[in-house]
A and B are shown apart, each in its own frame.
Chain A
């Protein structure tokens, strides 16, 4: 990450539509700062990731030092500071998934995608990472696709089908 400095610009920080969404959200909180997690979520929903420019804009928008935005972005795991892959696989590696064969399925996914956990394919089509418990142990082994869809009771066959569906095979 590059060092951060406050923007000196005075023009609008965000598009009018996004700005309206953010303003509505901020108004619900006692302090502007308290809304930061939601503000970052809304920016990601709109733009996919939070670019350095937007990180600075958030600081200015909430009237807090840029380092405070950086601190929040790096403390939590769900914020992307770089463009993300088209299809993202977040494989759970915690106990219930471990007990039900998750480790083996992770290896299988690595082979099928041709990348290791923590990596993105060169063409940016897919990425693979391991995550801690997603609160879905009843469908272990499981993973989350595109930070949203829970796919559970995974087997090699089911992974094959999923990969066909999202066109992610290496």
Chain B
């Protein structure tokens, strides 16, 4: 199977500018000035069915077409490289191995949206990746690919690299904008959407690292070719981050719509120690869990939504038969309680209560009514807040007990796990 982005993922290697150019790099960005006008380029990306690969899956070309070009204000491009959704680690590989692929994608997006200033927001923990991007940026400036009159065309583009400082919520695009403006990352009420009122009050395009990194290939080989690689309305390939109880965890670049079963067994090597599969988180921590009998599903935005879960960030976390679902949910909800920004009470209080209730259950002091209380809290958390963090928390919170009800009830009654007797001793009390 052909690799696009991941052909750059050579262990221990970064493709610096000369080697990147030698492999045909920056030709796509150079060619867009002749091949397309801005609207034509947006139409091409629309036709490619490229989706927002950060997790929302919003059609990328459509997102661009919503940016007003007549406000008299500058339009900004912001790259979301906060990569915080647990189970997701693909953008790190792009930063590490193919920094120029991202920069080239940014140039293409900048041309389509008439952008002359762009920011890359990279999560603060990615220290080495930040340094790699900084060096690549210097290289691109030195070659005249950035700055005034790029490629000798009448087009300026400045790119600024910006580090986050440890906050999941800054992966939410308006939280990210607040953070980029120098504030705590409280998401904004929408509308207005960032396309219209974004960074510094100006129209803003926000795209994920991976989304932008596919643009070079779309320009090089055409939208129709790209669209055909994937499934209906889900163009191209995608980087799946696979972790948990598989033999070969890692990043796999595969067509959108590929059955989950193939990812786990054909690509990630199957289950460790040849145990049985129990469950899978298909799209990052915030996706509803799937049972082992639900893995025939095609991994694209629409097919997973039809199954009541989501493609999200394509973070696939695999659970074998020894996994205690109660402990897994406890760890999951502890994450949301920790990362809730505190702006909206249903989320701030709800995630906290849920964590406390689950803590009590895993410590062996659960009550049978706790299960219904969890579902009650879940129902008021969803759809009542400014951003989707609480909705993301509600997905696992509802689906784990729904699909593994007997295991939850058994844990509460007996005060310990039926699958992992040690689960209780390992509970952290902090």
Contacts and interface: CB of A to CB of B under 8 A. Distances in A.
Contacts of B339: 132
A70 to B, nearest CB: 10
A111 B83 CA distance: 32
A76 B331 CA distance: 21
A117 B332 CA distance: 19
Given A96-B87, A96-B244, A106-B428, A134 B317 contact: no
Greatest chain B CB density within 10 A among A38, A68, A148 is at: A38
Contacts of A116: 430
B207 interface: no
Given A77-B166, A116-B430, A95 B83 contact: no
Contacts of A95: 86-87, 244, 281, 285, 317, 328, 331-332, 335
A93 B285 CA distance: 13
Interface string A68-93: 10011001111100000000000001
Contacts of B163: 37-38, 41
B167 A35 contact: no
A41 to B, nearest CB: 6
Contact of B182 (A36, A134, A137): A36
Nearest to A29: B160
B323 A76 contact: no
Interface stretch (B26-34, B123-131, B211-219, B222-230): B123-131
B243 A137 contact: yes
A33 B181 contact: yes
B168 interface: yes
Contacts of B328: 95, 98-99
A37 B164 contact: yes
B316 to A, nearest CB: 10
Interface of A: 28-31, 33-38, 40-41, 62, 64, 68, 71-72, 75-79, 93-96, 98-100, 103-104, 106-107, 116-118, 130, 132-140, 144, 147-148
3 nearest interchain CB pairs?
A: A77-B166, A76-B165, A137-B243
